[in-house]
């Protein structure tokens, strides 16, 4: 009987432990800042403390500056997807307005697919996106503004409908005066691990029943036609 109480106590301990909320805060303006909080413990993941680069000779620096091509003004383009990169890695690499819009579209695709149930385990306590769109001139700014709106608003709408979102706002402003492009993102996502585990188990069982069993049914050998059976008799 004592062993049973010990086992039940261990199970209760893990259930309580897995029910404690984990919160992840992501803030992007000039740089990406990511922090994780569990109970009273807070860990800052980004930005990373980069090592100071070694001083180089002035001659080499001049040569490098001459060889470097001039940077073009930021344009709103869809970032290229590389194999092995997930949505968060792509956002960290690309950033800017294009990176934020692509992140919204990637989140929309993930929630709209078969992993939408898993996405329901996460709670967006805060989701704020602000984009300033500028171009070479007023006409270019208007075109870019229309493209960003047509991509960002539907993606945000699907995220709000498919996921659990408490507070959210998407603001896109065309900058016809200074013609500058800027992006700001702030989100706080919380998760109770026990909800995620339950969602994964439900998804696995759904795959077993809907996919595996259907494949087994279709893999059975077809029955002989009745006409052939009559001829054989």
78-135 per-position pLDDT tens digit? 555 555 567 777 787 778 888 888 888 888 787 766 567 777 888 999 999 999 999 8
Residue at 76 is within a domain: yes
- Looking at residues 34-57, what average pLDDT do you find? 75
Residue 7 pLDDT greater than 80, yes or no? yes
Residue at 56 is within a domain: no
Residue at 11 is within a domain: no
Taking all residues of the chain, what is their mean pLDDT, rounded to a whole number?
78
The DSSP bridge partners found for residue 184 are 130
Residue at 231 is within a domain: no
Looking at the structure of the chain, the number of domains it has is 1
pLDDT band with cut points at 50, 70 and 90 for residue 221: low
Residue at 4 is within a domain: no
Residue at 34 is within a domain: yes
Residue listed under structure tokens 């498919």: 162
Distance of CA 100 to the CA centre of its chain: 10
d(CA 138, CA 182): 16
- pTM given for the model: 0.70
Residue 140 pLDDT greater than 60, yes or no? yes
Residue at 227 is within a domain: no
User: Under DSSP, is residue 93 helix (H, G, I), strand (E, B) or coil?
Assistant: helix
Quick one: pLDDT at residue 220? 57
- Looking at residues 208-213, what average pLDDT do you find? 70
Q: DSSP code of 122?
A: E
Residue at 226 is within a domain: no
Range of the structural domain that residue 126 is part of: 22-46+70-219
Tokens of 31: 């740089």
More confident: 90 or 165: 165
More confident: 61 or 128: 128
Residue listed under structure tokens 């065309």: 174
Residue 163 pLDDT greater than 90, yes or no? no
Please state, in angstroms and as integers, the Cα–Cα distance from residue 138 to each residue in 72, 135, 152, following that order: 18, 7, 21
Taking Cα atoms as reference points, which of 140, 135, 142, 150 lies closest to residue 104? 150
Task: Give yes or no for a contact between 199 and 163, defined as CB atoms under 8 angstroms apart.
Answer: no
Quick one: pLDDT at residue 71? 37
E strands present in the chain: 22-28, 32-38, 41-46, 122-133, 164-174, 182-191
Quick one: pLDDT at residue 70? 39
- Looking at residues 15-34, what average pLDDT do you find? 89
Quick one: pLDDT at residue 2? 82
């Amino acid at each position: 009987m004592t062993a049973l109480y010990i086992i039940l106590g261990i199970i209760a301990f893990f259930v309580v432990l897995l029910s404690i909320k984990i919160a992840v805060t992501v803030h992007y303006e000039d740089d990406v800042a990511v922090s994780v909080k569990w109970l009273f413990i807070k860990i800052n993941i980004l930005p990373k403390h980069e090592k100071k680069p070694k001083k180089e000779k002035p001659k080499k620096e001049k040569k490098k500056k001459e060889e470097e091509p001039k940077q073009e003004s930021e344009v709103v383009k869809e970032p290229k997807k590389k194999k092995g990169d997930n949505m968060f890695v792509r956002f960290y690499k690309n950033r800017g307005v294009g990176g934020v819009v692509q992140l919204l579209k990637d989140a929309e695709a993930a929630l709209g697919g078969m992993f939408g149930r898993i996405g329901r385990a996460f709670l967006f306590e805060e989701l704020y996106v602000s984009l300033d769109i500028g171009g070479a001139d007023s006409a270019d700014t208007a075109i870019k503004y229309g493209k960003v709106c047509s991509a960002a608003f539907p993606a945000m709408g699907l995220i709000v409908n498919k996921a659990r979102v408490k507070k959210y706002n998407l603001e896109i402003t065309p900058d016809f005066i200074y013609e500058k492009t800027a992006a700001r993102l702030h989100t706080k996502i919380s998760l109770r691990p026990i909800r995620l585990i339950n969602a994964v188990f439900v998804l696995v069982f759904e795959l077993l029943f809907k996919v595996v069993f259907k494949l087994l049914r279709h893999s059975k050998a077809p029955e002989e036609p009745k006409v052939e059976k009559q001829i054989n008799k």
